[in-house]
Amino acid sequence: LLNILPESIANRLKKGESPIADDFDSSTVLFADIAGFTEISSSITATDVVLHLNSIFSLFDGLIKKHSLEKIKTIGDCYMLVGGIPNPDKGHAEAVIEMAKDMLKTIEDVNKKTNQFLKIRIGISSGSVSAGVIGRDKFIYDLWGDTVNVASRMESFGENDKIHISKETYTLLKEKYKFIKREVLNIPGKGDMQTYFLDN
């Protein structure tokens, strides 16, 4: 269970609690997509795809522990994580930004070692989420809510090797980091949104 669930959630599950569902007022969600990996995967074997993705995501897993964050899942070549849950942490936004910076550095190091030109696109948003355990035989701890949707949009509408954040995350971190204000984006399902790039 500890390989697939946060420890506190696994303990609740072992005690027979069901369903496990919680609301969190403050968290920071990150989506990171390895840009161009779909094209690369079409020209190599399935084994090489798995080995390559696993090597990168394993490095990200190590960063998760370093920054005391929670990995939620991988979706193809996309990696999703959250800060501030299931154990509340007032510094969740800063921890996620530092994680994102380390992810950029990791891809840079991987490229140097493998002579490749992988790029990563990172999107982040902060706010309230709902979280809980889904499944009976194959458990997953997952998140829902507008914050998750906005973080996903930040990734989709971001740029390679940049950290793209929502106004909610900017509000939490504007005194600690430098940001570049983007032109207002029209985000499907959300309308016009003011977003920012980390000045890194």
Catalytic residue among 9, 56, 72, 77: 77
Question: 41-72 in b/e burial notation, b at 16+ Cβ within 10 A?
Answer: beeeeeeebeebbeebbeebeebeeebebbbb
Strand runs labelled E in the chain:
21-35, 70-75, 78-83, 119-134, 140-144, 163-165, 179-181, 185-187, 191-193, 196-198
The residue type at 57: F
Q: Tell how strand 119-134 and strand 163-165 pair up.
A: parallel
Catalytic residue among 20, 34, 97, 124: 34
Beta bridge partners of 82: 29, 70
Catalytic residue among 9, 20, 33, 165: 33
Let me know if 33 is a catalytic residue: yes
Let me know if 107 is a catalytic residue: no
Let me know if 137 is a catalytic residue: no
d(CA 103, CA 162) in angstroms, rounded, equals 11
Show which residues are catalytic: 33-34, 77
